[in-house]
C-alpha cells in the first residue's frame, strides 16, 4: 500500500474514533479547566527568516516536512449555521425571550420596529431602551436579526400613513446609536420607513420617488455602522439610487453600492413578483443574480402561483438569485407546498452558504519556531456566500495552550456558490512551543469581538468528523507533532503563531 495513502487512511480511522467521543486531552477540545495560557496570533506578521543551525542533537535546517493529506466526506445534516437560512419572527420590544428561534432549528429572526405612534414626534427614550434590550436578548439567544422599521402594517391598497421625510431622517439619527451598539447581532437592515409595510411603495407622504428614496437610503447607510448592509425592495430602486449592478471588483469595498442587497416580499407570486421586476424582467433578475454573489438576498413568498411556487421553480430561482434568507412563516400555503413537494430539506440546507471541507493537507510535523503549511479545499454547495465579514483562523492546540493565527490573505465572502476555494497558508510556530501532539483546526468565528468566542456564531463545515461544538472549530487532525527533531528551517526568535509570506 502507498505510504501516504496508508497514513491518510489511518488518520481518518483515528478521527472517526475521536469524533465519536471527546476531542482533545480534556474532552472539550479546548483549554482544560484551570489552564492559563491562550497565546493568540491575531495580527499581521512577517517571517524573520532566522535559523538555529540545528542546535544540540537537532537536525540542521533543510527541506520542509512533507505534507499529510486527509479527505473528508460531505454530510446531509441541516446545520445550524449563522446569518443564513429560514428565519422566524421576533418582537424586540415585548420583553419576551428569543430562545425559541434556535430551538426551532433557526439562527435568524425577522423583527419589525413599529414606529406608528411616532409619525409626527420624536421616538421616546423608552422605545429606544426597549429596542436595545430586545437586541441584547437576541445576543443572549445566540441569534441574529433581520431588522426593518415601518410606520404601518398596510393595509392594502390604502395603507395607513407613513412619516414625512424630515421625520424619517430625524428618527434615523435617533436610531443610529442603537444600531451601532448592536451591529453584532444585526444580520442586515431592510430599508424600510417609506410607504406600506416600509416596502417603499404607496407612501402617503409622496416619498416613493427616486430623489426621496435616494436621500433616505443614504441616511439609512449612514445610520448603520460600516460593517453592515441594507436590503432594498426592488432592483430598480437600487439602480435609481446607486447604479449597478455591482461589479466583482467593487464588492465588499465599503462603498454605498457595495452595502445594499435585495429583499423580495412577493417571491414567485407572478412573473414579475408583484412588481418586483420591471420590464424586461429577465434583465432585472440578472441584476439581482449578479449582486447576490456579494450582497444579501432574501424575503418572503406572498401567495400560491401554480407551478411557479412549486419546488422545481422555487429552488431554481433561489439558486439563480443567490438567496440567503427566507421567511418560514409566510406564505404558509407556499411553505406547505414545499413540504409536500419534498424540497424543504434542500432549501434548509442550501439557503445561503454551505461549506464542505473536501481535503486538507498539512505538514507531517513541525519544529518549534518552524513553518507549518496548511492547505484546504472548501466547496460552497449553498446558493450564496457569507455576506458579512468573517475571519478564518488556523488553530493549534495541545490541550494546555491554544494558539490562533488569522489568515489575512483569505476572505470567506469570496467563497462563491458552486465553486471550490483552495486555502494555502504558511504559518510560523512560536519557538517556545512545547514539544508534543497538537490538534490542528480551522475556525470561522464571528467578526465581532463580542461574539468571537460564541460557538453559535462560528461556521461549521458540512463534512464528516470535523466539528468541535465546544470550541466552534473544524478539526483537521488531532495528532500533529511539534517536534524539535522534525526537518525544516527555524526562527529561534519567533514569539507569535502567525501567517507568513
Long-range contacts of 151-160 (CB under 8 A, 24+ apart): 151/115, 151/116, 151/119, 151/193, 151/198, 152/116, 152/196, 152/197, 153/114, 153/197, 154/196, 154/197, 156/196, 156/202, 157/202, 159/195, 159/196, 159/197, 159/202, 159/204, 160/116, 160/204
**Residue 59 pLDDT:** 52
* Paired residues of 297 in beta bridges: 262
- pLDDT of amino acid 347: 98
Residues forming a β-bridge with 395:
404, 441
Where exactly does CATH 2.60.40.770 map onto the chain?
3-75+357-500
At the second CATH level, the architecture of 85-350 is Alpha-Beta Barrel (3.20)
Residues in the chain with pLDDT < 50? 1-58
pLDDT for 185: 98
In the chain, where does the domain assigned CATH 3.20.20.80 lie?
85-350
Domain 3-75+357-500, second-level architecture: Sandwich (2.60)
- Nearest C-alpha neighbor of 59 from the set 489, 492, 491: 489
What pLDDT score does 399 carry?
A: 95
pLDDT at 65: 85
pTM over cut 0.85: yes
- Listed as own residue / partner, the contacts of 207-216 with beta carbons closer than 8 Å and 24 or more positions apart are 207/162, 207/165, 207/168, 210/240, 210/241, 212/165, 213/237, 213/240, 213/241, 214/240, 214/241, 215/165, 215/169, 216/165, 216/168, 216/169, 216/172, 216/191
The pLDDT of residue 58: 47
Q: For the segment 62-120, what is each residue's pLDDT rounded down to a tens digit?
A: 678 899 999 999 999 999 999 999 999 999 999 999 999 999 999 999 999 999 999 99
Q: Which three cell numbers stand for residue 283?
A: 434583465
Amino acid at each position: 500500500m502507498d505510504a501516504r495513502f496508508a497514513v491518510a487512511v489511518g488518520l481518518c480511522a483515528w478521527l472517526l474514533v475521536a469524533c465519536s467521543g471527546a476531542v482533545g486531552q480534556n474532552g472539550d477540545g479546548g483549554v482544560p479547566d484551570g489552564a492559563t495560557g491562550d497565546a493568540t496570533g491575531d495580527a499581521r506578521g512577517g517571517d524573520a527568516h532566522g535559523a538555529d543551525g540545528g542546535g544540540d542533537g537537532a537536525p540542521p535546517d533543510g527541506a520542509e516536512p512533507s505534507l499529510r493529506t486527509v479527505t473528508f466526506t460531505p454530510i446531509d445534516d441541516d446545520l445550524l449555521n449563522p446569518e443564513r437560512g429560514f428565519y422566524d419572527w421576533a418582537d424586540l420590544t415585548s420583553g419576551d425571550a428569543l430562545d425559541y428561534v434556535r430551538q426551532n432549528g433557526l439562527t435568524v429572526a425577522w423583527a419589525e420596529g413599529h414606529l406608528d405612534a411616532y409619525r409626527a414626534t420624536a421616538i421616546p427614550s423608552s422605545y429606544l431602551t426597549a429596542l436595545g434590550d430586545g437586541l441584547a436578548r437576541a445576543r443572549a439567544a445566540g441569534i441574529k436579526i433581520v431588522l426593518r422599521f415601518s410606520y404601518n402594517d398596510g393595509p392594502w391598497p390604502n395603507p395607513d400613513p407613513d412619516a414625512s421625510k424630515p421625520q424619517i431622517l430625524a428618527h434615523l439619527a435617533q436610531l443610529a446609536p442603537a444600531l451601532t451598539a448592536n451591529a453584532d447581532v444585526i444580520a442586515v437592515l431592510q430599508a424600510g420607513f417609506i410607504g406600506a409595510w416600509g416596502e417603499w411603495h404607496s407612501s402617503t407622504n409622496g416619498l416613493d420617488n427616486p430623489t426621496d428614496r435616494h436621500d433616505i437610503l443614504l441616511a439609512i447607510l449612514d445610520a448603520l455602522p460600516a460593517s453592515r448592509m441594507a436590503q432594498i425592495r426592488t432592483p430598480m430602486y437600487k439602480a435609481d439610487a446607486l447604479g449597478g449592478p455591482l461589479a466583482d471588483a467593487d464588492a465588499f469595498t465599503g462603498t454605498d453600492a457595495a452595502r445594499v442587497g435585495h429583499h423580495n416580499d412577493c417571491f414567485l407570486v407572478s412573473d414579475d413578483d408583484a412588481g418586483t421586476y420591471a420590464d424586461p424582467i429577465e434583465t432585472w433578475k440578472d441584476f439581482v443574480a449578479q449582486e447576490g454573489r456579494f450582497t444579501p438576498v432574501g424575503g418572503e413568498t406572498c401567495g400560491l402561483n401554480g407551478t411557479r411556487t412549486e419546488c422545481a421553480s422555487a429552488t431554481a430561482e433561489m439558486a439563480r438569485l443567490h438567496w440567503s434568507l427566507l421567511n418560514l412563516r409566510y406564505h404558509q400555503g407556499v411553505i406547505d407546498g414545499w413540504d409536500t413537494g419534498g424540497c424543504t430539506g434542500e432549501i434548509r440546507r442550501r439557503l445561503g452558504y454551505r461549506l464542505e471541507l473536501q481535503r486538507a493537507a498539512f505538514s507531517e510535523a513541525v519544529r518549534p519556531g518552524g513553518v507549518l503549511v496548511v492547505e484546504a479545499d472548501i466547496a460552497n454547495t449553498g446558493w450564496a456566500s457569507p455576506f458579512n465579514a468573517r475571519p478564518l483562523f488556523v488553530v493549534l492546540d495541545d490541550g494546555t495552550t491554544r494558539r490562533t493565527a488569522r489568515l489575512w490573505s483569505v476572505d470567506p465572502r469570496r467563497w462563491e456558490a458552486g465553486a471550490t476555494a483552495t486555502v494555502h497558508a504558511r504559518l510560523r510556530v512560536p519557538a517556545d512551543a512545547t514539544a508534543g501532539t497538537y490538534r490542528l483546526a480551522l475556525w470561522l468565528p464571528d467578526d465581532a469581538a463580542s461574539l468571537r468566542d460564541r460557538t453559535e456564531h462560528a461556521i461549521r463545515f458540512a463534512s464528516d468528523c470535523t466539528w468541535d461544538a465546544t470550541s466552534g472549530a473544524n478539526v483537521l487532525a488531532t495528532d500533529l507533532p511539534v517536534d524539535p527533531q522534525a526537518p525544516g528551517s527555524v526562527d529561534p526568535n519567533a514569539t507569535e503563531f502567525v501567517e507568513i509570506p
